[in-house]
């Protein structure tokens, strides 16, 4: 099996997993129950994965973590705004 296909599938699933959270916080305008420290740590880790993917030139890692960084960063921003 093509390793890039496995990487793309894994990246797609872990990225898509954030959509319900983003949608829920946006709808309710509440992020009170979300952990700020978890999202700070997670978003930092995703940013580092993105840098790693760029350094390797690995498109599945770059795409998945670029999009996940956008989603996680959005949730983090809404956590800071809506608390």
Residues 19-56 have pLDDT tens digits of: 999 899 999 999 899 999 999 999 999 999 999 999 99
Question: pTM for the full model?
Answer: 0.82
C-alpha–C-alpha distance, residues 21 and 61, integer Å: 22
Contact 67, 15 (CB under 8 A): yes
Distance in angstroms (rounded) separating the CA atoms of residues 11 and 13: 6
- Asked whether 82 and 29 are in contact (CB, 8 A), the reply is yes
Concatenating the DSSP letter of every residue in 43-72 gives HHHHHHHHHHHHHHT-HHHHHHHHHHHHHH
């Amino acid at each position: 099996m093509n390793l890039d296909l496995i990487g793309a599938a894994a990246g797609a699933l872990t990225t898509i997993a954030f959509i319900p959270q983003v949608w829920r916080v946006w709808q309710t305008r509440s992020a009170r129950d979300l952990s700020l420290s978890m999202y700070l740590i997670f978003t930092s880790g995703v940013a580092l994965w993105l840098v790693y993917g760029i350094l390797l030139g690995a498109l599945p890692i770059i795409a998945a973590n670029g999009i996940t960084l956008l989603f996680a960063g959005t949730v983090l921003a809404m956590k800071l705004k809506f608390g």
